[in-house]
Amino acid sequence: MKKRILVLVLAVIMVMPFARIAAQAGTIVDVAAGNADFSTLVSLVQAAGLVDTLNGEGPFTVFAPTNEAFAKLPAFVVDYLSANPEALTQVLTYHVVAGKVASTDVTAEAADVATVQGGTVQAVSDGTTVKVNDASVVTADIEASNGVIHVIDTVLLPAFALPEVVPATVTGDIVADGSSTVEPLANAIATRFTEEGFGSSISIGESGTGGGFKAFCEEMTTDIANASRAIKSSDDAAKPEELQKCQANNRQPVAFRVGTDGLAIVVSAENSFLTDVSADQIKLIFGTAVKWSDVDPSWPAEDIIRYIPGTDSGTFDYFVERTWAAGETGEILAASNLNMSESDNVLVQGVESSPYAVGFFGYAYYVANAASLKTLAVNGVVPNFESVEAATYRYARPLYIYTTAQIMQEKPQVAAFINFFLTTVQDEITNVGYFPASEYALNRSRLWWLASAGAQ
């Protein structure tokens, strides 16, 4: 089978603006084995029984992740792959293309490239950086006797199929809490799960990302934490953050990326003077300015009325991080006419109430209230699928759900619901008002599920 799939031919090739590296003696495996930066890759190739294949006549092109790239994968995922040769072979052969592809063979146009695994990777160049899926090529054209190696900084992951879930056969209650941004998406998935036959209870709270992690990590009253930011961590044992508090209670959280939000900065539809704001103006609007005319003299000399999420909210954390330096909350918390709530619906009502009000929250809440709100462009860029996916919109951010492998194994209903979430989220997310995660991100989440649930 391996020999047969190795006859696949490369249809399209990519631009790699890197200098060539001199040809080296030995096969691709020999060259990799002689470089300490590839020790993890070599050991996994050996574990998968692919040494003879990659020592074959070829020629092959290999996108080779460094040790540092493999270190980005959670240890439990590497352990799962090492213990499951079939899954490991899928991952490794996804890095191999039949045929020798040199950087000089390439165009800058994005293209799907067939791999030995049977799937495709997308290669694209902006003229200075080459991307293969979500990996960057850091060194190109390391030649071997039977092909060429291009070094990448991220492990490529093919699409993994999850076991089918039949909601009518799943029993046991599920409790989730956390981000008010993720809540409408989680509720949409929960509603569909119930409509397709799940008969037990699903509770979706919205105490904010910080509140959700407190319930999950410290109080241990929930099965899932919904989050509009990554879990916080600390290197200072005297000042543990969310991750350390989870670990102290023998909970090792696993993050599943489920979508993307373009955090919306909004005003009332009655506001006649705002359409676009700069990053510097945002600092004033949500910081030291008292009147709109303090930001721009041509704007009304009316008080700025602010409606923002509470400090337990991941939306608050993310906005502050993107607007000011990390940890600098003083300006926003000291602002005049400041109204804070963990409920995005309360914030919506506040912004709607005055043409001089302003606020920010998840894009879905703007979509649901677009008749009475305006979303502002930031530095000329409005939040939409293209700007959020490309991260050209300043306030694009990932959305997550968290649980642990232990919870998934002890509570099969939680594993089934997360499986269902990852399987159906692309169907639901745009209806809710958010943007799909990339297939690369979802592939990671699905592999994380397989490794956490024991591929049940």
Residue 422: strand, helix, or coil: helix
Q: Quote the distance between the C-alpha of residue 320 and its chain's center.
A: 19
| 374 and 267 Cβ atoms separated by less than 8 Å | yes
Query: What is the CATH code for 167-261+397-453?
Result: 3.40.190.10
* Residue ranges in the chain whose pLDDT is less than 70: 1-25, 102-108, 326-328, 455-456
Q: Which is it for strands 305-309 and 357-361: parallel, antiparallel or unpaired?
A: parallel
| 310 and 340 Cβ atoms separated by less than 8 Å | yes
Residue 367: strand, helix, or coil: helix
CATH H-level superfamily of 264-382: Periplasmic binding protein-like II (3.40.190.10)
Structure tokens at 323: 């607007």
| 86 and 116 Cβ atoms separated by less than 8 Å | no
| 372 and 269 Cβ atoms separated by less than 8 Å | yes
Query: Where in the chain are all domains bearing CATH 3.40.190.10?
Result: 167-261+397-453, 264-382
Q: Which is it for strands 174-178 and 135-144: parallel, antiparallel or unpaired?
A: unpaired
**What are 151-197's pLDDT values in tens digits?**
999 999 999 999 999 999 999 999 999 999 999 999 999 999 999 99
Structure tokens at 105: 């063979």
Cis peptide bond prior to 300, omega within 30° of 0: no
Residue type, 252: Q
Architecture of domain 2-152 in CATH?
Answer: Roll (2.30)
Closest listed residue to residue 265, CA positions, set 207, 231, 309: 309
Query: Where in the chain are all domains bearing CATH 2.30.180.10?
Result: 2-152
Hey, which residues does 65 pair with through a beta bridge?
Answer: 152
pTM to 2 decimal places: 0.84
Hey, which residues does 359 pair with through a beta bridge?
Answer: 266, 307
Structure tokens at 275: 């359409």
Q: What is the pLDDT of residue 14?
A: 32
Closest listed residue to residue 222, CA positions, set 172, 175, 183, 186: 175
Q: What is the pLDDT of residue 386?
A: 83
